[in-house]
């Protein structure tokens, strides 16, 4: 039997920090293979265009195409609108829902459950359920509207309604997720502060504005970050419900990347759009870090 | 040392003889990977898996492994990815219109040598319209399988109910509008039954352009031809819009998959759809289903063929290609492809299939099964058989969507589509 001492490393190795790198190595390898290398290769791809089996260097051509083509411009606008709305709704809608769920009602769990249950459902199933609800002639939504004597709509085929229609599906599924964080934050708020405010005759609105909102700001910071990421990543409902149609009205950035890259194998355009997405996300992360982080109130 | 050298020699001898024996006596069957899509409603995947199982049971030296790859677009995407990665399937059903894209990818081989060989195929037996998309550079690159044209399906009970003759479907565009108006049923402001539903799709639109007098794609061997901004195409698209403005067809874009469901539910009295949906519609409609040629425009009847063919891939060993040919040859035997026609509703693409059972008796029993076959007389090469065809499909469909949702006029929408299609062609090396 060898003694544990025999495992000790020579002092030269220990002092040079090699041990630290040794322990970091597995993570570094994965980071390099699955994060750094794809970034390098997507940048390389964005400067090339595929013809047949060969890749031709085209410089910034792919980016010019994306910014000059009205259809990809529309994709960018769609995405900006969708993400902005998602940011607002995940913060304000999430907080509002959390406040409602935080009421000390009897059987509050009964009311919380439906909002939280949607988190566990896969987006594909959710979208399939909504496909039926939106269906123009046999769908639930139009049945209800028709029953009430209201005009029916062809929800997903109307270019003005289709993107909001997708957003409603996204919100229906994800709002509970965001409110969950707020619910946790609300439940950890100090009771004495809120009680004192109530005794001082502060209105609900003032309490929300001056006490709750600042106190949950770390959560707001967190929710706004994942809200943006989440809305950019969810693409399943586009596949199931509209496939980007009608006439490009519901094409979002990630769907565009899929369509260009994996349906038509225009890897150059797909890579260029990915680089744009990456740049935007990095910028946002830096801005949020520098600006929001400073204003967040940590207890 | 001596012992060691002897041991090595013995080992080598043993391995070599093991290999030799293995190679001689236990010949491994060739396992072919076979990609196939399903493009219409119905349990077609089961049918294909069933045929493959039968093929495998009757062939010791070839085993085919069927891989269901989704709809046509996903199927092509998976095949393209596989070709680009250097690991293609051995044999695949892919759209006829993807021929030039596949040639450009160097993904497929021409089949002329196989066709002319001793174990060949009587290629002249196949209908001309179904061979139009299979030939490039005077070579045959694919063998027809799930081939179709759109046809007009109509609800005979609804016709009788409003006083129309169930045996006289509309024969012209004008009659389509007229009959459509009579077939519409309203409940207050809501329409509970539409006259006709035309899916918003490049594939259906192409038929209207042909009926108006000018195909939107090439009729010959030209992978760079797209004719979207012609007066005929504009007239065709304006007619589709007119169906909506006259209150005969639902407003907005109409999904490909919604039309059969609406027809079965009685929410649309007539639909344009692939003949591949025939079996599903016949089996599920609680009323008598009529089928007819698509009504004629100014230039008469016209149809754009469609569907998938068998292709053999390039980057595989010659013996695998031979095995793939044997499989294709077995699948398109007249009895076999006739059975497929019955199971699916696709038009059996060769004469011989219609002259033997089971299809011969079936066609006598179910007259609807022959509509698309007789319409072939007016059928031409499918659009868009071009480079970048997958993208041009979407571009064309988007133009129709823009008009069907009232966003753009037919002229503007088609001008945009033509420009975008040209851009795709130029990107693929076409000189326009």
Give B58-105 pLDDT, tens digit per residue. Answer: 999 999 999 999 888 889 999 999 999 999 999 999 999 999 999 999
Best residue of B253, B269, B401, B408 to probe chain A, by most A CBs closer than 10 Å: B253
Element (H, E) at B10: helix B2-25
**Record: contact B407-A159, CB cut-off 8 A:** yes
pLDDT at residue B1 is higher than 60: no
What is the ipTM metric for this complex?
A: 0.79
pLDDT score recorded for residue B191? 87
Q: Looking at residues B154-169, what average pLDDT do you find?
A: 97
Q: Looking at residues A125-139, what average pLDDT do you find?
A: 87
pLDDT at residue A140 is higher than 80: yes
**Residue B4 banded pLDDT, cuts 50, 70, 90:** low
Residue B423, min C-alpha distance to chain A (Å): 11
A14 vs B324, residue with greater confidence = B324
Q: Within an 8 Å CB–CB cutoff, is residue A21 touching chain B?
A: no
Are residues B145 and B332 in contact, defined by beta-carbon separation less than 8 angstroms?
yes
Close Cβ partners of A266 (under 8 Å, ≥ 6 residues apart): A49, A50, A260, B391
pLDDT score recorded for residue A297? 63
pLDDT score recorded for residue B293? 97
Q: Within an 8 Å CB–CB cutoff, is residue A5 touching chain B?
A: no
Q: Looking at residues B196-202, what average pLDDT do you find?
A: 96
pLDDT at residue A51 is higher than 70: yes
**Record: contact B405-A49, CB cut-off 8 A:** no
Please give the share of chain B, as a percent, with pLDDT higher than 90: 84
Nearest to B252 among A246, A262, A263 (CB): A246
B391 vs B2, residue with greater confidence = B391
pLDDT score recorded for residue B391? 93
Q: Within an 8 Å CB–CB cutoff, is residue A71 touching chain B?
A: yes
**Residue A1 banded pLDDT, cuts 50, 70, 90:** very low
pLDDT score recorded for residue A155? 87
Q: Looking at residues B36-57, what average pLDDT do you find?
A: 90
Please give the share of chain A, as a percent, with pLDDT higher than 70: 93
pLDDT score recorded for residue A295? 67
pLDDT score recorded for residue A57? 95
State the DSSP code for B167.
Answer: T
Task: For residue range B114-142, list pLDDT tens digits in order.
Answer: 999 999 999 999 999 999 999 999 999 99
Which two three-digit tokens encode residue A70?
């009205």
**Record: contact B252-A264, CB cut-off 8 A:** no
User: Which residue(s) pair with B108 in the sheet?
Assistant: B313
pLDDT score recorded for residue B385? 95
Percent of residues in chain A assigned helix, strand, coil, to nearest 5? 75, 5, 20
**Record: contact B250-A137, CB cut-off 8 A:** yes
Element (H, E) at B36: strand B30-36
From chain A, the residues in CB contact with B77 under 8 A are: 262-263, 265
From chain A, the residues in CB contact with B267 under 8 A are: 137-138
Q: What is the pTM of this model?
A: 0.85
Report the chain A residue with the minimal C-alpha distance to residue B104: A52
**Record: contact A262-B407, CB cut-off 8 A:** no
**Residue B311 banded pLDDT, cuts 50, 70, 90:** very high
From chain B, the residues in CB contact with A128 under 8 A are: none
Q: Within an 8 Å CB–CB cutoff, is residue B80 touching chain A?
A: yes
Q: Looking at residues A138-143, what average pLDDT do you find?
A: 86
pLDDT at residue B43 is higher than 90: no
Q: Burial of B362 by CB count in 10 Å (0-12 exposed, 13-18 middle, 19+ buried)?
A: middle
pLDDT score recorded for residue B19? 53
pLDDT at residue B24 is higher than 60: no
CA-derived radius of gyration, chain B: 25
pLDDT score recorded for residue B285? 96
pLDDT at residue A2 is higher than 70: no
Nearest to A265 among B80, B261, B394 (CB): B80
Q: Within an 8 Å CB–CB cutoff, is residue A118 touching chain B?
A: no
pLDDT at residue B233 is higher than 60: yes
**Record: contact B253-A245, CB cut-off 8 A:** yes
**Record: contact A247-B401, CB cut-off 8 A:** yes
Are residues B293 and B378 in contact, defined by beta-carbon separation less than 8 angstroms?
yes
Q: Looking at residues B184-195, what average pLDDT do you find?
A: 89
Task: For residue range A195-251, list pLDDT tens digits in order.
Answer: 888 888 888 889 889 889 988 988 998 898 889 988 998 889 998 898 888 889 999
Task: For residue range A56-66, list pLDDT tens digits in order.
Answer: 999 999 999 99
Give me the helices (H) in A121-258, please.
123-134, 140-147, 162-187, 191-199, 204-207, 213-215, 217-233, 236-241, 253-258
Q: How far apart are CA A297 and CA A277, in angstroms?
A: 30
pLDDT at residue B254 is higher than 70: yes
Please report the sign of the dihedral spanned by the C-alpha atoms of residue B173, residue B179, residue B182, residue B186: negative
B30 vs A138, residue with greater confidence = B30
pLDDT, chain B, mean: 92
pLDDT, chain A, mean: 88
């Amino acid at each position: 039997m060898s003694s544990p001492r025999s495992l000790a490393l020579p002092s030269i190795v220990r002092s040079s920090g090699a041990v630290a790198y040794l322990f970091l190595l597995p993570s570094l390898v994965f980071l390099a293979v699955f994060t750094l290398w794809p970034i390098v290769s997507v940048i390389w791809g964005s400067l090339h265009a595929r013809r047949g089996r060969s890749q031709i260097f085209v410089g910034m051509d792919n980016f010019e195409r994306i910014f000059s083509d009205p259809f990809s411009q529309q994709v960018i606008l769609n995405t900006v609108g969708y993400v902005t709305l998602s940011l607002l709704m995940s913060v304000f809608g999430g907080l509002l829902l959390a406040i409602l769920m935080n009421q000390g009602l009897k059987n509050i769990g009964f009311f919380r459950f439906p909002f939280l249950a949607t988190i566990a459902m896969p987006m594909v199933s959710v979208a399939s359920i909504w496909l039926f609800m939106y269906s123009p002639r046999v769908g639930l939504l139009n049945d209800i509207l028709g029953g009430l004597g209201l005009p029916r709509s062809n929800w997903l085929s109307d270019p003005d309604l289709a993107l909001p229609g997708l957003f409603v599906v996204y919100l229906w599924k994800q709002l509970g997720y965001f409110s969950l964080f707020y619910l946790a934050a609300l439940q950890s708020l100090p009771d004495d502060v809120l009680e004192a405010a109530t005794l001082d005759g502060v209105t609900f609105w003032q309490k929300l504005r001056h006490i709750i909102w600042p106190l949950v700001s770390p959560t707001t910071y967190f929710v706004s970050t994942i809200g943006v990421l989440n809305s950019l990543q969810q693409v399943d409902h586009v596949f199931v419900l509209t496939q980007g149609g009608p006439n490009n009205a519901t094409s979002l950035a990630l769907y565009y990347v899929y369509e260009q890259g994996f349906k038509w194998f225009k890897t150059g355009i797909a890579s260029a759009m990915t680089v744009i997405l990456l740049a935007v996300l990095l910028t946002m992360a830096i801005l949020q870090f520098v600006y929001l982080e400073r204003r967040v109130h940590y207890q | 040392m001596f012992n060691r050298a002897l041991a090595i020699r013995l080992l080598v001898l043993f391995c070599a003889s093991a290999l030799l024996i293995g190679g001689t006596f236990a010949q491994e069957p060739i396992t072919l990977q076979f990609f196939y899509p399903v493009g219409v409603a119905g349990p077609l995947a089961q049918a294909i898996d069933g045929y493959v199982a039968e093929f495998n049971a009757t062939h010791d030296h070839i085993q085919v492994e069927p891989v269901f790859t989704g709809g046509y677009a996903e199927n092509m995407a998976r095949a393209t990815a596989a070709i680009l990665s250097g690991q293609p399937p051995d044999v695949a059903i892919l759209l006829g219109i993807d021929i030039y894209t596949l040639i450009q990818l160097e993904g497929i081989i021409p089949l002329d040598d196989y066709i002319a060989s001793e174990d060949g195929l009587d290629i002249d037996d196949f209908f001309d319209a179904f061979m139009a998309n299979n030939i490039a550079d005077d070579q045959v690159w694919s063998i027809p399988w799930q081939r179709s044209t759109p046809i007009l399906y109509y609800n005979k009970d609804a016709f009788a109910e409003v006083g129309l003759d169930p045996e006289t479907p509309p024969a012209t565009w004008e009659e389509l509008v007229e009959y459509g108006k009579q077939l519409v049923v309203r409940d207050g402001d809501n329409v509970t039954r539409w006259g006709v539903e035309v899916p918003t799709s490049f594939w259906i639109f192409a038929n209207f352009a042909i009926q108006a007098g000018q195909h939107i794609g090439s009729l010959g061997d030209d992978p760079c031809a797209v004719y979207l901004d012609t007066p005929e195409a504009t007239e065709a698209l304006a007619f589709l819009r007119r169906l909506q403005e006259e209150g005969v067809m639902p407003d907005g874009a109409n999904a490909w998959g919604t039309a059969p469901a609406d027809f079965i539910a009685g929410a649309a009295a007539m639909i344009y759809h692939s003949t591949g949906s025939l079996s599903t519609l016949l089996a599920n409609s609680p009323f008598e289903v009529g089928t007819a040629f698509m009504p004629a425009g100014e230039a008469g009847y016209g149809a754009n063929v469609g569907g998938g063919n068998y292709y053999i891939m390039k980057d595989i060993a010659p013996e695998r290609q031979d095995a793939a040919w044997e499989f294709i040859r077995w699948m398109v035997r007249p009895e076999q492809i006739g059975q497929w026609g019955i199971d699916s509703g696709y038009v059996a693409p060769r004469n011989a299939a219609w002259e033997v059972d089971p299809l011969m008796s079936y066609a006598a029993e179910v007259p609807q099964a022959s509509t698309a076959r007789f319409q072939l007389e007016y059928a031409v090469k499918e659009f868009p058989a071009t480079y970048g065809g997958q993208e041009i499909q979407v571009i064309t469909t988007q133009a129709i969507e823009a008009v069907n949702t009232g966003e753009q006029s037919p002229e503007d929408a088609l001008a945009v589509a033509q420009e975008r299609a040209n851009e795709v062609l130029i990107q693929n090396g076409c000189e326009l």
